Structure 1
Amino acid sequence: MRRKIIIDTDPGQDDAAAIMLALASPELHVLAITAVAGNVPLARTSLNASIVLEICGRPDIPVYAGCERPLRRQLVTAEHVHGKTGLDGIELFEPAVARQAGHAVDFIIDTIRSEPEAAVTLCALGPLTNIATALEFAPDIAGRLAEIVLMGGGYFEGGNITPAAEFNIFVDPEAAAIVFASGVKLTMMPLDVTHKVLTTAARCARLRSVGNRPAIAMAGMLAFFERFDEEKYGTDGGPLHDPTVIAWLLRPDLFTGRQCNVEIETVSELTRGATVVDWWRVTGRPANAFVAGDIDADGFFDLFIERVARL
């Protein structure tokens, strides 16, 4: 049985990598891409999703634009990382297929209600605004979802947009708090894992050598994307965050982790968006998420490159 997924995303070069990995994997049935404001504003994230689908030869997959700002805050974006377009590093174009007219939140709700119980997994690659809004408008969908797998947060690694917070959670901490309190089965890919998945020169050379259109495009995107983190962290390459979400669905054996209680800081301006992960189980609070702690990085890149070669 192919797992049915909705990819909720704010592309972003690493989001594009996650979309490519999902499209190249026969184990997954991508029902749609739902766009949210995050790395760049909504008009750009929805356009970028369509561009990636066209690069991969899959314009048949619908794209729905969703929330253009966080639930209770002004939008913070990350052009300093991803470039003005969000997909800097390649020559972009106007995709042939227009985005769908409906709203992403309505699509999420209607699809989860119309599919059999536990048939749909939400793959959250950006701020959790669309998903939290859907859960608030339609609380019944929480009991119908198979799982939410999300990239966000950190614990021992700290933050990447503030000392305490990872970008996706920082942008809309109130949305994250709703999702982590929802009772839905959650899997969290934090910076502690994604910072071990580095786009080294050797790995990018392997990817480029695949030679097909998606691989060449992704190699170009990563050449731009990694320059920020290389300068920031002094590493060979940058962390490829979002494809870890898709890799979890395909190869959970690549990961280790544990069930934890995760709470979201929404009040303090100093630590806004921090994910308070009870890794050592010192609070007595019940676990609400599986938190990944480590990854086989070589195995991940073997999977990613092999699958992109199929596109």
Structure 2
Amino acid sequence: MAIPTEIRQWILTNKPTGLPELSGPNQTFTLKTTSLPSLKDNQVLVKSIYLSNDPAQRGWITKDVDPERLYVPPVEQDGVMRARSVAEVVESKSSKYNKGDKLVATTGWAEYSIQDADKCQACADLPGLSVTHYLGAFGLTGLTAYYGTKIIARAGKEDTVVVSGAAGATGSMVVQIAKKLLGCKRVVGIAGNDDKCKWVENLGADLCLNYKMGNFKQDLIRATDGYVDVYFDNVGGEILDLMLTRMKKDGRVAACGAITDYNRSEKPGLKNWFEVISNRIEIKGFIASDFVAQGKGPETVKELVTAVKEGKIKVGDENETVVDTKFEDVPKTWMLLFEGANTGKLITKLV
């Protein structure tokens, strides 16, 4: 593989308040070409192969956000759009990596990038599985599902659990962890179409409801007769508001995401907040990287890999949506997140 002297990057040029714009005078991202700097000791030059698409990225680019209110620094104006990827080492000045090795790094939306070797994660062989799962089931996605379900929500065998966004990257892992690893009594998923609901039930959910159906509210009330112990929230908005009325006294909510509101300039308020008070509901937000920073990541990934080998959790092609994408179309593939087009993890494969 020839070493390039110039590289293409997608730059954040206009921070959005609503839905990001991919064309026009206020387009959110701009494709630019820049010179590649020289490689230094303990660094590697990598070529991005697969890009991770995550709803959280939308929060990193919001206009006028207070940096102190984010768990990671926002993407800077005129900076490279941030993303993690599976990449291949093209050149190395590190004893840790050789040419041709695969690793996970925060490359951003860049064809090539130079990375500090100590900040990269080696991709160990996953027999029978794609390396892309290091961005999903065995990456921050899977860790988020694990920590949120087991530690934050403290889900157990006697619990009824509801999971929104159940056909998404995190939600689909939550369903399996709750049902197959923790042995929860009943798991109910919420997803965006009938095919996704069938897939979620195939993963282990006792029932999955299509929130786009006109009778969704009545169906959810029937499905949660007796109320629920745990709600794993990936969406926020109206579904969270409704779920507050379905929680048991002392119920636990793991607040993971709020994709419903990410592209809204005006955020709707919660009408049922008093339920939190009257029923002593515990709502706790969390970020998986907090647990990773404590050194728990490798142990958790090992546990998840073992669960797959033992047949307790299903991880395979059906757990991800991999989209062949020209580098010129990287933002278009990312935008599929907000259309609900993916089942499981949305991965950009650069072609």
TM-score by length of 1: 0.38
Q: Whose radius of gyration is greater, 1 or 2?
A: 2
Higher relative strand content:
2
Q: Which has the higher contact order (CA 8 A, sep 6+)?
A: 1
Higher relative helix content:
1
TM-score by length of 2: 0.35
